[in-house]
Amino acid sequence: MDQDGRHNRPLDENDVLGCLPGVRALILRMTRDLNATNDFAQEVMIAVIVAVREGRLREREALPAYVRQAARHIVFAAQRKLQPTAMEVLPEQEGAWQGAPRTPLEYCEASEMQRMAREVLDELPTPRDRALIVGFYVEGRSKIQLMGELQLDAAHFDRVIFRARTRMRDRIRDKMCERQNLSDAPVSRMGSGHKGR
């Protein structure tokens, strides 16, 4: 049990919305499509919130597995061209949805990804490191292949990839802060608004 006694109270919508960053990350990894990810993540949240409201999901410990399964189901269903179940009540129109944790993807447009990827690539210190990233992400070559071709050991390979991922994460964070500052300014004067994570 945590300090605020969170585990004692019944499962509610805020608990579900707390899973949103993970849901987005999982769906983005499955689809590699920014727009689809935003749509599917919202559908997942709606489906799980409805399940909580209807009492089909009560156990807090079951929430992560339920959310993960819902995400996978919705993505697979979409890939099979199945239509998701229509909802009469849309939680995203309610106050709870407005309080959902913001995630970087909501602040990042597709065109910006290309620019950020270019910046991350340009920051790598050697042509060999850049070749590694291009080989791994663009050409889809395996770690073993690239280690052989570029004469790299596993530690160097991992370092370069980790550095690139971390720098991309930092860039997305910066973008999020930048957008939040822009959107928070007028809202804060009105005495409400979400501050994000």
Q: Binding to other proteins by residue 121, rule CB under 8 A?
A: yes
Question: Which residues 6+ apart lie within 8 Å of 197 measured at CB?
Answer: 21, 101, 102
Only segment of 81-89, 105-113, 177-185, 187-195 that touches other proteins (CB under 8 A): 105-113
Q: Binding to other proteins by residue 162, rule CB under 8 A?
A: yes
Q: Binding to other proteins by residue 28, rule CB under 8 A?
A: yes
Largest interatomic CA distance in the chain: 59
Q: Binding to other proteins by residue 191, rule CB under 8 A?
A: no
Among 6, 56, 165, 195, interactor with other proteins by CB under 8 A: 165
Q: Binding to other proteins by residue 9, rule CB under 8 A?
A: no
Q: Binding to other proteins by residue 118, rule CB under 8 A?
A: yes
Among 39, 150, 179, 184, interactor with other proteins by CB under 8 A: 150
Q: Binding to other proteins by residue 147, rule CB under 8 A?
A: no
Buried/exposed 102-121: b ≥16 CB within 10 Å, e otherwise: bbbbbbbeeeebeebbeebe
Among 134, 182, 185, 187, interactor with other proteins by CB under 8 A: 134
Q: Binding to other proteins by residue 1, rule CB under 8 A?
A: no
Tokens of 149: 């071709």
DSSP characters over 148-170: HHHT--HHHHHHHHHHHHHHHHH
Q: Which is nearer to other proteins, 110 or 190 (CB)?
A: 110
3-state SS string for 74-133: HHHHHHCCCCCCCCCCCHHHCHHHHCCCCCHHHHCCHHHHHHHHHHHHHHCCCHHHHHHH
Give residue for tokens 């409400």. 192
Instruction: Look at residues 191, 171, 16 and name the one whose alpha carbon lies nearest to residue 92.
Output: 16
Q: Binding to other proteins by residue 151, rule CB under 8 A?
A: yes
| Positions that interact with other proteins (CB under 8 A) | 18-19, 21-26, 28-29, 32, 34, 63-65, 67-68, 101, 103-105, 108, 110, 113-118, 120-121, 125-128, 130-131, 133-134, 137-138, 143, 150-151, 158, 161-162, 164-166, 168-169, 172-173, 197
